[in-house]
């Protein structure tokens, strides 16, 4: 899980979270205030060499 601030800077990363439907349900939160939370597949952060402090760029092209 990647936590991102309003400027699209990664604030915090939590690796290998467990599914929401597990009991008891874990509570994941960021170290600092964030605006966005991005869930990615396990290993995605490591494979793509993503770190706290990196900037995320979003290319949004909605279908018409």
41 domain-assigned: yes
64 domain-assigned: no
Domain that holds residue 14: 1-58
Alpha helices, H only, the chain: 44-47
Task: Inform me whether the pLDDT recorded for 22 exceeds 70.
Answer: no
Q: Looking at the 3D structure of the chain, how many domains does it have?
A: 1
49 domain-assigned: yes
Q: Half-sphere exposure (CA, 13 Å, Cβ side) for 18? A: 7
4 domain-assigned: yes
Q: 23: helix, coil or strand?
A: coil
Q: Can you give the pTM of this predicted structure?
A: 0.79
Residue scoring higher pLDDT (49 or 63) = 49
pLDDT of residue 27: 75
35 domain-assigned: yes
63 domain-assigned: no
pLDDT of residue 7: 94
pLDDT of residue 4: 95
């Amino acid at each position: 899980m990647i936590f991102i601030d309003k400027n699209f800077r990664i604030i915090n990363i939590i690796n290998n979270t467990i599914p929401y439907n597990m009991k008891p349900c874990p509570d994941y939160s960021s170290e600092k205030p964030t605006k966005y939370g991005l869930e990615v597949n396990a290993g995605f952060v490591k494979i793509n060499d993503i770190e706290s402090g990196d900037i995320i760029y979003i290319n949004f092209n909605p279908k018409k």
